[in-house]
């Protein structure tokens, strides 16, 4: 890497100065070439000094020769101090020369690149000029063979460069801290100014470049931050949460936002839970079971472990139960008005599951079962009416009629069935005239009832029902005649004649 040195060239007829940039390569070959030129120049100067020395010795000799004729006896002898110049041996010179070369290479490899990276010329022109002059003088001393002076000057150059780099580091850290502070306060212009100052002395700093990226995002997120502040002041947690989520999509590195989001999430969660619980209890008071159930379910989604849920659920269930009972009783009463006691029984039974202690439900269920039982008994009699001709069956039917007297007042079906049964009992227990016709040779009898005799025609009285007439005659096959006398008939005729010989 080449380093650049600023030199000032002064002209006798012009007080202005011009900057000349000289490039010094770091490679050892280039250094050797420069040093070789310096050695030749130094040898030339040594030759000139030797000639001057010989000339001086000659002059001194002439002076001594002339002074030998001068009388010094009258004067006091005076001491003479001769300042001897310390001459370095060739080995010492080479050692100093080598030390200088090593120090120069170290400077050009370590300090000088850092100096270039710090852009010193842009913010410290005086220091930049001073560094250039020091290096120029150092190289002139070396090229003149003044190795010790060159070594001393490079040490001065190192110290001065180190101080400038310390100053650059101070500028960098100070402005980086200020930029960090301003971005924390969301002050874009101030943060931008100081990050640019930091990058001026350390343009490749990853820390500063990363912070610059954050600062450049500030104009995009500033409106969102302001909106979030307003939402926070208004306790609009949901709005603030949404704005902060947008900010994190743009600038996920903002720790304060990232820390606030989970806090808001918990606040929103608690707010939603409390809101649904409150609305749930309000719905209970208004007896709005559907709304109460909805708010319970929503609150459970938010936090299923909260104790308030159990309290709300108890009241929701109680309200829903009361509505189920009310609805079932209402439907049962409608069924009663329709005389649909089977439906009434089913609805009263539903209500009994939720309110087994309700007198209305218990009485309604008992009455429905009673009516249905009476209807079933009436149907048995009405579906097989001729059994009523039997005394024990008729007695049972009459007891059923007595039981149905109260039910007939609230069941049209029972009332109608009772009337039908009474009429059937009357009709089935009256005697119907039956004319029996025969040939005056056949003996006729009615099985299970009695004998008719040998007749040509005879009128007997029988109750409605099934009868078997039997005819018997010697030498002829017996004959059976099956008859059915309907209860709605006023008379009946049957013929029994045995006319088939054996």
Domain extent listing, the chain: 3-66+87-174, 338-429, 432-495
Which long-range CB contacts under 8 A does 257-266 form with residues at least 24 apart?
264/237, 264/240, 265/241
Helix/strand/coil for 453: strand
Among residues 365, 381, 374, 379, the alpha carbon closest in space to that of 332 is found at: 365
- Give the strand order in the sheet containing 457-462: 457-462, 432-437, 492-495
Please state the rounded mean pLDDT for residues 245-264.
Answer: 89
CATH 1.10.3720.10 fits 432-495, yes or no: no
The model's pTM: 0.49
Q: Determine which of 76-80, 229-233, 488-492 has the lowest per-residue pLDDT on average.
A: 76-80
Residues 89, 95: Cα–Cα separation, whole Å:
10
Q: Residues 414, 408: contact at Cβ < 8 Å?
A: yes
Residues 198, 183: Cα–Cα separation, whole Å:
14
Per-residue pLDDT at 367 exceeds 90: yes
Which long-range CB contacts under 8 A does 443-448 form with residues at least 24 apart?
443/471, 443/472, 443/473, 444/469, 444/470, 444/471, 444/496, 445/469, 445/470, 445/472, 446/470
How does the average pLDDT of the chain come out, rounded?
83
Q: Given the structure tokens 């045995």, which residue do they identify?
A: 498
Per-residue pLDDT at 122 exceeds 90: no
Share of the chain above pLDDT 70, in %: 83
pLDDT of residue 124: 87
Torsion of CA 238, 239, 244, 246, to 10 degrees: 110
Per-residue pLDDT at 331 exceeds 90: yes
pLDDT of residue 41: 47
Residues 131, 117: Cα–Cα separation, whole Å:
15
């Amino acid at each position: 890497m080449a380093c650049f040195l600023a030199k000032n060239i002064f002209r006798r007829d012009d007080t202005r100065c011009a900057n000349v940039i000289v490039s010094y390569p770091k490679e050892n070959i280039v250094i050797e070439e420069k040093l070789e030129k310096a050695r030749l120049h130094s040898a030339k100067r040594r030759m000139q000094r030797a000639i001057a020395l010989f000339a001086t010795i000659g002059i001194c000799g002439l002076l001594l020769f002339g002074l030998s004729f001068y009388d010094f006896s009258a004067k006091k002898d005076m001491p003479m101090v001769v300042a001897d110049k310390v001459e370095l041996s060739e080995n010492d010179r080479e050692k100093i020369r080598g030390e200088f070369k090593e120090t120069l290479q170290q400077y050009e490899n370590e300090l000088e690149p850092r100096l270039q990276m710090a852009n010193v010329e842009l913010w410290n022109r005086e220091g930049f000029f001073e560094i250039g002059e020091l290096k120029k003088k150092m190289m002139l001393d070396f090229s003149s063979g003044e190795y010790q002076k060159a070594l001393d000057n490079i040490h001065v150059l190192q110290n001065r460069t180190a101080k400038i780099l310390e100053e650059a580091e101070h500028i960098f850290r100070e402005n980086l801290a200020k930029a960090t502070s301003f971005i924390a306060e969301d002050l874009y212009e101030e943060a931008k100014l100081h990050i640019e100052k930091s990058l001026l002395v350390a343009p490749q700093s990853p820390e500063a470049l990363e912070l610059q990226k954050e600062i450049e995002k500030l104009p995009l997120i500033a409106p969102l931050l302001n909106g979030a502040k307003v939402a926070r002041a208004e306790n609009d947690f949901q709005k603030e949460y949404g704005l902060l989520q947008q900010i994190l999509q743009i600038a996920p590195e903002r720790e304060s936002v990232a820390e606030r989001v989970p806090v808001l999430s918990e606040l929103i969660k608690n707010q939603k839970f409390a809101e649904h619980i409150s609305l749930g209890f309000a719905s209970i008071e208004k007896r709005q079971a559907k709304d109460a159930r909805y708010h319970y379910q929503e609150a459970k989604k938010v936090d299923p472990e909260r104790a308030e849920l159990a309290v709300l659920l108890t009241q929701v269930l109680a309200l829903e139960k009361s509505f189920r009972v009310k609805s079932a009783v209402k439907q049962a009463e409608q069924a009663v008005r329709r005389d649909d006691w089977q439906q009434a029984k089913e609805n009263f039974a539903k209500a009994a599951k939720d309110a087994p202690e309700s007198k209305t439900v218990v009485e309604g269920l008992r009455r429905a079962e009673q009516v249905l039982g009476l209807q079933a008994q009436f149907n048995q009699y009405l579906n097989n009416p001729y059994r009523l001709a039997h005394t024990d069956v008729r007695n049972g039917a009459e007891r059923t009629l007595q039981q149905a007297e109260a039910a007939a007042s609230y069941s049209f079906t029972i009332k109608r069935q009772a009337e039908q049964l009474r009429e059937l009992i009357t009709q089935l227990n009256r005697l119907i005239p039956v004319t029996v016709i025969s040939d005056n040779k056949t003996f006729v009898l009615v099985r299970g009832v009695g004998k008719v005799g040998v007749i040509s025609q005879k009128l007997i009285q029988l109750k409605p029902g099934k009868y078997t007439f039997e005819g018997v005659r010697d030498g002829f096959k017996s004959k059976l005649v099956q008859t059915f006398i309907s209860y709605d008939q006023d008379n009946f005729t049957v013929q029994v004649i045995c006319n088939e010989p054996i």
